[in-house]
């Protein structure tokens, strides 16, 4: 029983990370039709900025918030200065975002090296026993943060004008502009928000791993793309549901079957969804 | 006086040159019908006026050149659009569709909208995708009428509607035309006869006839030649 609880809570922690990365990716694709490989660079940027700030101030929270702010600002600049020029040209967009990811990863490695230890409050590394299972506190942090982000983003999408523009833009972007709305502002906002969420995930994954690494974004990005596709491109709630399924399934399979089987099962799940419901669990029909 | 002046409008979509030097003007007030057989470029003309497709040429609204502006800037200048196939946001409620259409710098005349379309008031919390075709058309028109517009572009509003809804739609458009200048794309000639003062006919992406709607529709042979359909007496 205690093992199952441990697997469930650590699986939820993994799902929380996937959700933080995938939700931004999904909204960016849904609204802007951009496959944003640079998302992983913002994740790494968040991790390293958090490390720099936490290392000099001693405050992990200040590091996390600083990382999000820097990523949001750089995300807004990236959208306005680079991506906007390639609006509608998918191949140049993909090349640009892949190039940014590769260049940024190499730059970070050259400037700061790999695996500097992330200073975190000691309580985050302690464990709390739940039904006899020793759960690292940082997993609870992941889960609480992801739930808070889910609630905040749901309220943003449901209650604000920009949320309305994003939801409408995912459905029919030209019609949004035909209502007199400058959809480019929404592009920049969504891109900045996505970058901030990726940076948040970057700080948290560094806290869980105990160190920040230049490649940490790339590994998460692959699973985040899988989550986005399973949940439905452009569907925020779909990303949340798919992250939950993928995180738990991966954790259970890796423990109860064989290490590595979890990744295989996720790929099979992806294939199954693409074959039976290509629009994803909560995505709109592509027909 | 002309409210809309279009000169040498050209649109190329992919390999296809859809509009060839299309030039026409629309007088202020009332309804001007943009007519033609299927596929001659009527909807492309509407989308070209708004910059929803790449185009060259001149488009002036109330004397102001708008062909250099982005779509949202043209609309913000007082040009409303009711597209073919309604294009309401299916996942949003009726209320959210209307709230989204509220333009900055314009008054939002909900009283007018709800007097013309009382059913919209009853369905504010209903998802637009669950409305009937007629109700979706009403919502699309309501979005166009919510703001102060000088010109309303209405594309095939009767398409797919039951005859009794078309009658209702004509009555609404008659009231709308008292408030704003309408450029109407429509295949239903009895509707055109009732609503339109002027008419422009396109054929193969070119303007082939302009004049009053009465002159056009009173010439049965000419109408058949230009539009490929007969006119009911």
Q: Looking at the complex, does the CB of residue B224 fall below 8 Å from at least one CB of chain A?
A: no
Contact A177 B71 (CB under 8 A): yes
Q: How distant, in Å, are the alpha carbons of B31, B151, B186 from that of B193?
A: 11, 20, 11
Residues A217 and A104: their CA atoms lie apart, in Å, by 11
Q: What digits encode the pLDDT tens for the residues A105-144?
A: 999 999 998 888 999 999 999 999 998 899 999 999 999 9
Q: What is the mean pLDDT of residues A66-74?
A: 98
Q: Is the separation of the CB atoms in A278 and A286 below 8 Å?
A: yes
Contact A180 B75 (CB under 8 A): yes
Q: Is the pLDDT of residue A287 over 60?
A: no
Q: Is the pLDDT of residue A285 over 70?
A: no
- Please report, rounded to a whole number, the percentage of residues in chain A having pLDDT higher than 70: 99
**Residue A163: which residues within 8 A CB-CB, separation 6 or more?**
A155, A156, A157
Taking contacts as CB-CB distances below 8 angstroms, the residues of chain B near A166 are none
| Mean pLDDT, chain B, integer | 92
HSE (CB half, 13 Å, CA atoms) of A13? 20
- Distance from the Cα of B43 to chain A's closest Cα (Å) equals 14
Q: What is the pLDDT of residue B231?
A: 56
Q: In a 3-state reduction of DSSP, which class is residue B4?
A: strand
Q: Is the separation of the CB atoms in A224 and A270 below 8 Å?
A: no
| Residue whose entry in the numeric block shows the structure tokens 């290392």 | A55
Taking contacts as CB-CB distances below 8 angstroms, the residues of chain B near A178 are 50, 52, 71, 75, 81, 83
Residues A253 and B154: their CA atoms lie apart, in Å, by 57
Taking contacts as CB-CB distances below 8 angstroms, the residues of chain A near B147 are 180
**pTM summary value:** 0.86
Spatial strand order of the sheet with B151-155 comes to B79-82, B151-155, B181-185, B31-35, B198-203, B206-212
Q: In a 3-state reduction of DSSP, which class is residue A116?
A: coil
Put simply, the chain B residues between 90 and 109 with a CB less than 8 A from any chain A CB are: 90-92, 96, 99-101, 103
Residues B206 and B209: their CA atoms lie apart, in Å, by 9
Q: What digits encode the pLDDT tens for the residues A217-226?
A: 888 999 999 9
**Residue A235: which residues within 8 A CB-CB, separation 6 or more?**
A26, A30, A280, A281, A282, A283, A284
Q: What is the mean pLDDT of residues B71-88?
A: 94
């Amino acid at each position: 029983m205690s093992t199952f609880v441990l697997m469930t809570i650590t699986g939820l922690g993994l799902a929380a990370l996937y959700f933080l990365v995938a939700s931004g990716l999904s909204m960016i694709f849904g609204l802007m039709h951009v496959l944003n490989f640079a998302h992983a660079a913002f994740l790494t940027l968040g991790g390293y900025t958090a490390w720099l700030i936490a290392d000099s101030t001693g405050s992990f929270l200040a590091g996390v918030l600083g990382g999000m702010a820097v990523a949001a600002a750089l995300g807004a600049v990236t959208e306005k200065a680079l991506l906007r020029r390639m609006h509608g040209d998918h191949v140049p967009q993909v090349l640009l975002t892949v190039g940014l990811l590769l260049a940024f990863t190499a730059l970070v490695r050259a400037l700061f090296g790999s695996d500097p230890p992330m200073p975190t409050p000691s309580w985050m590394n302690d464990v709390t026993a739940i039904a006899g299972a020793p759960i690292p506190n940082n997993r609870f942090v992941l889960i609480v943060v992801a739930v808070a982000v889910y609630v905040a983003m749901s309220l943003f999408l449901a209650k604000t004008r920009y949320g309305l523009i994003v939801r409408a833009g995912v459905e029919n972007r030209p019609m949004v502009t035909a209502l007199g709305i400058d959809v480019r502002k929404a592009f920049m906002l969504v891109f900045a928000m996505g970058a901030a969420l990726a940076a948040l995930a970057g700080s948290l994954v560094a806290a869980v791993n105990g160190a920040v690494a230049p490649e940490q974004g790339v590994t998460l990005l692959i699973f985040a793309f899988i989550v986005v596709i399973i949940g439905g491109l452009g569907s925020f709630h779909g990303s949340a549901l798919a992250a939950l399924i993928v995180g738990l399934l991966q954790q259970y399979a890796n423990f109860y079957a064989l290490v590595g089987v979890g990744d295989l099962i996720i790929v099979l799940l992806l294939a199954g969804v693409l074959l039976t419901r290509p629009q994803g669990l909560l995505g709109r029909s592509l027909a | 006086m002309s409210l809309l002046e279009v000169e040498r409008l050209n649109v190329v979509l992919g390999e296809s040159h859809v509009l060839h030097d299309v030039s026409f003007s629309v007088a202020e007030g009332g309804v001007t019908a943009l007519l033609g057989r299927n596929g001659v470029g009527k909807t492309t003309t509407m989308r070209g006026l708004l910059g929803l497709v790449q185009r060259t040429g001149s488009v002036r609204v109330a004397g102001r050149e708008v062909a250099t502006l982005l779509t949202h800037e043209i609309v913000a200048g007082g040009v409303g659009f009711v597209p073919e196939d309604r294009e309401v946001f299916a996942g949003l409620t009726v209320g959210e569709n209307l709230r989204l259409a509220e333009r900055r710098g314009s008054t939002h005349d909900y009283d007018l909208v709800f007097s013309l379309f009382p059913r919209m008031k009853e369905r504010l919390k209903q998802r637009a995708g669950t409305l009937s075709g007629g109700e979706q058309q009403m919502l699309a028109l309501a979005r166009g009428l919510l703001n102060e517009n000088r010109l309303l572009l209405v594309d095939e509003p009767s398409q797919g509607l039951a005859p009794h809804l078309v009658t209702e739609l004509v009555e609404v458009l008659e009231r709308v035309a008292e408030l704003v200048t309408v450029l109407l794309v429509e295949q239903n000639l009895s509707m055109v006869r009732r609503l339109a003062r002027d008419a422009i006919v396109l054929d193969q992406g070119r303007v082939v006839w302009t004049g009053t709607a009465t002159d056009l529709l009173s010439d049965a042979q000419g109408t058949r030649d230009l539009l490929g359909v007969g006119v009911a007496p």
